[in-house]
Amino acid sequence: MEGWHWYRPGISREEKILVFKLDLSILLFGCLSTFSKTLDNQALTNAYVTGMEKDIGLTGNDLNYLTAVYYSSYLSFMIPASFMLTRLPISRILPTMEILWGVSTFGCAWVHNLNQLYVCRFFLGATETVSFTGVIYVIGSWYKRDELGTRMALFQISAPLGSMISGYLQTAAYNHLNGRYGIQGWRWLFIICFCITIPCAIIGFVCFPNQPNNTKPSWWLKQSEIELARKRLEEEGIMKLEKKINWRALTRVLKNWPWYCFVFAWCLYDQNQFWGTTPFSLYLKASPKHYSVSQINNYPTVGKAIAIVLTVIGSYYSDKTGDRFGPTLLGAMLVASGSIVLVVWNVPEGARFYAFFIDGAETAMSTFLMSWASDVVKHDSEARSIITASMNCIGQVFLAWVPIFTFNVAKAPRFTVGFIFSMVTGLLHVVLACLIQLLDVRRKRKEKQRIVLIGTGHDNHTGVIEFASSTEEKH
d(CA 377, CA 382): 9
The pLDDT score that the predictor gives to residue 244 is 52
pLDDT tens digits for range 108-119: 999 999 999 999
Q: How far is CA 15 from CA 116, 152, 276, 343, 359, in A?
A: 51, 19, 41, 52, 39
Does residue 471 register a pLDDT over 70? Answer: no
Q: Which residue has the higher pLDDT, 413 or 5?
A: 413
DSSP 194-262: HHHHHHHHHHHHHH----GGGPPP-SSS-HHHHHHHHHHHHHHTPPPPPSS--HHHHHHHHTSHHHHHH
What secondary structure, in 3-state letters, does 44-112 show?
HHHHHHHHHHHHCCCCCCHHHHHHHHHHHHHHHCHHHHHHHHHHCCHHHHHHHHHHHHHHHHHHHCCCC
Torsion of CA 30, 31, 33, 36, to 10 degrees: 170
Within 377-415, residue ranges assigned H as helices are 381-406
From the list 140, 136, 174, 129, the residue with the least C-alpha distance to 158 is 136
d(CA 267, CA 320): 28
Mean pLDDT on 218-245 = 72
The pLDDT score that the predictor gives to residue 237 is 61
d(CA 163, CA 278): 11
d(CA 456, CA 449): 11
The pLDDT score that the predictor gives to residue 428 is 95
Q: Which residue has the higher pLDDT, 185 or 237?
A: 185
pLDDT tens digits for range 382-409: 787 788 778 877 887 888 788 888 998 8
The pLDDT score that the predictor gives to residue 337 is 95
What angle is formed at CA 93 by the lines to CA 90 and CA 98, rounded to 5 degrees?
A: 125
d(CA 280, CA 42): 12
pLDDT tens digits for range 2-13: 445 567 677 788
Give the SS3 label for residue 25.
helix
Does residue 459 register a pLDDT over 70? Answer: no
pLDDT tens digits for range 98-108: 999 999 999 99
Q: Which residue has the higher pLDDT, 145 or 293?
A: 293
Q: Which residue has the higher pLDDT, 271 or 458?
A: 271
d(CA 142, CA 102): 28
DSSP 311-364: HHHHHHHHHHH--SHHHHHHHHHHHHHHHHHHHH--S-HHHHHHHHHHTHHHHH
**CB burial of residue 328 (10 Å; 0-12, 13-18, 19+):** buried
Q: How far is CA 169 from CA 163, 175, 185, 307, 335, in A?
A: 10, 10, 10, 19, 27
CA 325 to chain centre: 18
pLDDT band for 432, please (50, 70, 90 cuts). Answer: very high
